[in-house]
Amino acid sequence: MFFVVILSWIAAGLVVGFIATKAINLRGDDPKLSMGACAAGAVVGGVIYSLISGTSFVTWTLWAFIVAAIAAVVTAVIWHIVRSRSITRDVYVPRSSY
């Protein structure tokens, strides 16, 4: 059951990461990195909720899932703020001659 709980948190993070990469299009940014960061944020959020609430890591609760999704959203926002500073916003124009 422990793996089901962790997998649900990772799934929540991946879904939030996928939506964030589609909503915020940063040129040159790998969407896999964003999704991985969101999945990690969801797991950390789920673990923190389980520690604070006193529930077992083995027990799947809706609130832990919601907190994991919220943590993934916070991670996505922070990730895109940090990455947007290093990504150019210039419009890509392919060269017409070589």
CB 83 within 8 A of CB 35: no
Name the DSSP letter for residue 59: S
Where does the pLDDT of residue 78 fall: very low under 50, low under 70, confident under 90, or very high at 90 and above? confident
Residue 40: the pLDDT is 92
- Per-domain boundaries in the chain: 2-84
pLDDT digits (tens, 9 = 90+) for 43-77: 998 889 888 988 877 777 888 888 888 888 888 88
Percent of the chain residues past pLDDT 70, beyond the cut: 82
- pTM score, whole prediction: 0.76
How far apart CA 58 and CA 64 sit, in angstroms, is: 11
